[in-house]
Amino acid sequence: MAKIGVQAMMLMQGFAQDGAFETLRKVSAIGYNAVEISQIPMSEKIVGELDRARTELGMDMAALSVAVDLPAGRPGDTLKKDFAKIVDDANRLGSKFLRIGILPFPALKSLNAVVDFAKEANDYAEQLKDHGIGLYYHNHHVEFAKLDGKYMLDIIADNSPAMGLELDVHWVQRGGHDPVRTINKYADRAAMIHLKDYRVGEVPESAFAKLAAGDANGFRNEFRNVIEFAEVGEGNLDFPAIIAASQAAGAEYLLVEQDELYGRTVWEALQTSYDNLVAMGHSDLF
């Protein structure tokens, strides 16, 4: 059965201010019992607190985030330089999944660069298999661009058969595709799904002020930019169908995430998503 958890990108400020354990205590108090670690420095202190949250709170460390490589000077563990540490961290925290949040930005330049990234990631996925760990790739909307008539996500998938996919339903929708059909398409390799809603926001007052001032182009720019991230159940996506498709596909984790909060606190947002998911009949997945 799939388990609903939280994507820890939302918790970065809490980790920095209150520490990993206290932040995850608040997550647990809402009712979430799984977390995917992302954009969190994996220092010995933080790994120790995550381990404590696992043992004392019963928090399931669903997945850890990794990169194949990073630009010089950018902090973070990479498979190229920190492979042994990453494996040790995953084993200590009981995480059997690692996930790559996005391909390196320079790889977006050409088809050959995408293929090179996918093949390099596949090599690491094969190595990680020997340690009982799966490597997964998380999509945004850019992977639905076509290169030589083929979607970039399919190019990545075809050139990295050992790597699974972590499908983000908001970014699938923003990429012009239906989340349920996309989950069904990749059902044999999508072990994790990001639950993130897609809301069409209101045209802001600033846009109408520009219109009144005769700035039609300024109005159009704001008119075009009304797509928002939303709490699960507060936008336009069909989450009952998405969750049913995710379960049918054998997904093990469904991870709530919201990239922008528009003035709400992370705790308000997580509570709203939790309440809506319970109201949909999914209390058994927490």
Tokens standing for residue 10: 């939302």
Rg of the chain (C-alpha set) = 19
CA distance linking residue 158 with residue 209, whole number of Å? 49
Q: Which residue has the tokens 């799984």?
A: 34
Handedness of CA 20, 21, 25, 31 (dihedral sign): positive
Max CA pair span of the chain: 64
Region 190-206 average pLDDT: 96
Handedness of CA 152, 155, 157, 163 (dihedral sign): negative
Looking at the chain, how many residues does it have? 286
Least confident interval from 214-223, 243-252, 262-271? 214-223
> Do 86 and 77 touch, CB atoms closer than 8 A?
yes
3-state secondary structure of 194: strand
Provide the pLDDT for residue 75: 80
pLDDT tier, 115 (very low <50, low <70, confident <90, very high otherwise): very high
pLDDT tier, 71 (very low <50, low <70, confident <90, very high otherwise): confident
Q: What is the pLDDT of residues 134-171, one digit of tens each?
A: 999 999 999 999 999 999 999 999 999 999 999 999 99
Least confident interval from 112-126, 147-161, 215-229? 215-229
pLDDT tier, 74 (very low <50, low <70, confident <90, very high otherwise): confident
> Do 208 and 220 touch, CB atoms closer than 8 A?
no
What 171-176 contacts at long range (C-beta under 8 Å, 24+ apart), as own/partner pairs, is: 171/139, 171/140, 171/141, 171/196, 172/139, 172/141, 172/144, 173/198, 173/237, 174/141, 174/198, 174/227, 175/139, 175/140, 175/141, 175/142, 175/143, 175/144, 176/141, 176/144
| Best CA proximity match to 46, nearest among 73, 29, 65 | 65
Q: What are phi and psi of 36, to 5 degrees?
A: -105, 125
CA distance linking residue 279 with residue 118, whole number of Å? 40
Report the relative pairing of strands 227-230 and 197-200 from DSSP bridges: antiparallel
